Amino acid sequence: MNRQRIFIFLGLMLLLACKSTALPLPQSEKLSPAKVKDIAARIDRRHGDLSSEMRRRILETVVRSIDNMVFIEGGEFEMGDFGIPCEYDPSDMCEWPCGLAPEEMCPITMFTDDDHLHKVRLSSFYLSRYHTTLGDFDLFRSSHGKELFDKELRKREDLKERFDPNKPAHTKEWQEVKEYCLWLGELSGYPVDLPTEAQWEYAARNRGKYVWYPTDNGNLEFGRNFPPRFVGPIARPFPVGSFPPNPLGIYDLAGNAQEWVNDWYDENYYPNSSKDNPNGPDKGDKKVSRGTPPHETPWSTAHSVLRRGIAPIQDFYYPSLSFRCSLQTDSRLE
């Protein structure tokens, strides 16, 4: 009887061992095979109740997410509305300040919460080159036992394009977005989180340069470096990476989706911002969003300095309210 129990125990241990090593290891641009193997082991421990196919997809998502992180060297810049020529052509922008007198410069945005120019000094960090995709966000939710949102709508043929898994993730709650990035961090072993507002603007402005539009050349050229002005009856996001990235290699910083960042929102925060690695106010009733959705007038809202405060819980999952994660380390991955 004891021998039979030993055989059963050894059989179970063998099955568990096979299960924990069954995941094929994907190739990584940044991570060594040993690092990828560690991630696979973490996924086994965290999600051992999921099927091997689900765990394989999670492994591929985590490794790809780390590979998509772009290292951005830190530095000092002047954050906020630095001004724009009162008369300008967004398709043919001059280099700031265009040799103009102060009285010939106007505010970039119509809002006052970004008017206070202030020096900010950032440590180096990583930022994802893409928005989190709907497919990856769906996988995260499914792995935590959550049903797909808009499940019935997804069955409609006329809405198939809206739920393309390569489009930016639809989001509703800031906390769920935050948890997605922390989940990547838990499984990868790296400090993944949402970017701060200052990090987002620094990246959008090509390491803090005086860039009005966060495109490859600082201009708006519809259909080439920015979504076409009108696409069907309703302007919807495109698959991530459909247009050229900015000079740092970051895609879709304007025109494809509005983005959550980590900070609480306070319209009077800028005059009170800390200089080194600001994280925003300690509390609030709104969260900061950056970037712009495709249905807005880009000349007035696609600017690299525009900031907004939005409720941390929205009414439903918006196709044009998305996010991207960051890796909060000033050291390059090895």
Question: Can you tell me the distance from the alpha carbon of 283 to that of 263, in angstroms, rounded to the nearest whole number?
Answer: 9
Residues 111 and 265 sit within 8 Å (Cβ to Cβ): no
**176-188 mean pLDDT:** 98
Residues 224 and 218 sit within 8 Å (Cβ to Cβ): no
pLDDT for the residue 66: 98
Q: Is the pLDDT of residue 12 over 50?
A: no
Start-end of H helices in the chain: 2-21, 33-46, 52-67, 134-143, 174-188, 197-204, 298-301
∠ CA 262-275-182, rounded to 5° = 20
Q: Is the pLDDT of residue 1 over 60?
A: no
Question: What is the DSSP secondary-structure string of 140-157?
Answer: HHHHTTPPPTTTTGGG-G
Q: 39 CB contacts (<8 Å, ≥6 apart)?
A: 31, 59, 62, 63, 187, 188, 189
**298-317 mean pLDDT:** 95
Question: What is the DSSP secondary-structure string of 225-244?
Answer: TB--S--SSS--PPPTT-S-
For residue 133, give the DSSP letter.
Answer: B
In CATH, which of 2.120.10.30, 3.90.1170.50, 3.30.1490.20, 3.90.1580.10 is domain 34-327? Answer: 3.90.1580.10
Task: Read off the pTM.
Answer: 0.91
Question: Can you tell me the distance from the alpha carbon of 328 to that of 185, in angstroms, rounded to the nearest whole number?
Answer: 10
Q: Is the pLDDT of residue 5 over 70?
A: no
* pLDDT, tens only, 80-131: 999 999 988 888 888 899 999 988 999 999 999 999 999 999 999 999 999 9
How much is the CA Rg of the chain, to the nearest whole Å? 22
Helix, strand or coil for residue 137? Answer: helix
Q: Is the pLDDT of residue 141 over 60?
A: yes
pLDDT for the residue 283: 96
Question: Can you tell me the distance from the alpha carbon of 118 to that of 115, in angstroms, rounded to the nearest whole number?
Answer: 9
Tokens of 266: 């306070």
Beta bridge mates, 259: 290, 322
**214-232 mean pLDDT:** 86
Tokens of 47: 């999600």
Question: Can you tell me the distance from the alpha carbon of 179 to that of 172, in angstroms, rounded to the nearest whole number?
Answer: 13
The type of residue at 99 is G
Question: Can you tell me the distance from the alpha carbon of 251 to that of 210, in angstroms, rounded to the nearest whole number?
Answer: 18
The type of residue at 171 is T
* 21 vs 153, higher pLDDT: 153
Q: Which contiguous run of DSSP H or E holds residue 326?
A: strand 326-327
What percentage of the chain carries pLDDT values higher than 90? 84
When the pLDDT of each residue in the chain is averaged and rounded to a whole number, the result is 92
Residues 317 and 294 sit within 8 Å (Cβ to Cβ): no
